[in-house]
Amino acid sequence: MREPVALRQTAIIGDRTRLPMVVAMLSKRYRADAPTIIKANVPVNFLLDGLIELDPSAPAIFLHCELRDYLLAILRSDGHRAWLRTLTTRLAQYLGDLSGSSDARRVAALWLAQTRAFASAVDTMPRARVIETEAFFAAPAPIIERAAQHLGICSTKATIDATINGGLLATYSKDSTIPFDNDARLARRAALEVVLAPEIAEAQELVDQAGGKAAANRLAEARLAM
């Protein structure tokens, strides 16, 4: 289930009394021989402690970006920056009041809060693992194979090859008519690093001052074994 609205709304509203009901609704099995896998979005990361309480033994995978990668992904366009400002405003109960803050500061706060939540989760959930985004893009096939095993999905080499060689990793995620592969992503990233260098430095300084390195190191220890 991709980014179920009920779970996102629960995080935005902050009413945790509804969390058990929402999770029960989303956890229905649609096939008796396969698990229901929920792909959450950013706000749900702020409910992690509540979700863990409901089922600490559940298998989970956390997709994590290093700070620089997160900055390059979010600050790359006016549309993404607008999303950032709207989201961090809606998440003020978790992040604090960031009104008037720079986009770099908003990204730093959002990244740090999620990274700490992930680090806490892997300490609590024995079946939690981490995928680092750049490692996935560089070599998706073995990571998909191990992720499927971890989540209890029956996946053959032919299925994985079809996924890798199909359109999913060769087109833009928001518009499948636009060609966009990892080489194109890396080229865009290289160009953005020059343009965004001052904001990257600002965000990095803020995270370093807040002691964010320890949480990131903990996630590195829990990466999905290859």
Beta bridge partners of 132: 64
Burial of 162 (0-12, 13-18, 19+ CB in 10 A): exposed
Instruction: Give me the chain's average pLDDT, please.
Output: 94
Q: By the 8 A CB rule, do 108 and 67 touch?
A: yes
Query: Taking the C-alpha atoms of 86, 64, 186 and 162 in order, what is their torsion angle to the nearest 10 degrees?
Result: -110
Residue 23 to residues 146, 153, 157: CA-CA distances in angstroms? Answer: 25, 20, 32
Q: What is the pTM of this model?
A: 0.93
Predicted local confidence at residue 226, as pLDDT? 52
Phi (first) and psi of residue 113, to 5 degrees:
-65, -45
Q: Which of 150, 151, 148 is CA-nearest to residue 140?
A: 148
Predicted local confidence at residue 8, as pLDDT? 96
Predicted local confidence at residue 4, as pLDDT? 95
Predicted local confidence at residue 77, as pLDDT? 95
Count of C-beta atoms within a 10 Å radius of residue 216: 19
Residue-wise pLDDT tens for the chain (226 aa)?
999 999 999 999 999 999 999 999 998 888 888 889 999 999 999 999 999 999 999 999 999 999 999 999 999 999 999 999 999 999 999 999 999 999 999 999 999 999 999 999 999 999 999 999 999 999 999 999 999 999 999 889 999 999 899 888 999 888 889 999 999 999 999 999 999 999 999 999 999 999 999 999 999 999 986 5
Beta bridge partners of 2: 39
Q: Which of 63, 49, 62, 61 is CA-nearest to residue 124?
A: 49
Strand 171-172 relative to strand 128-132, pairing: unpaired
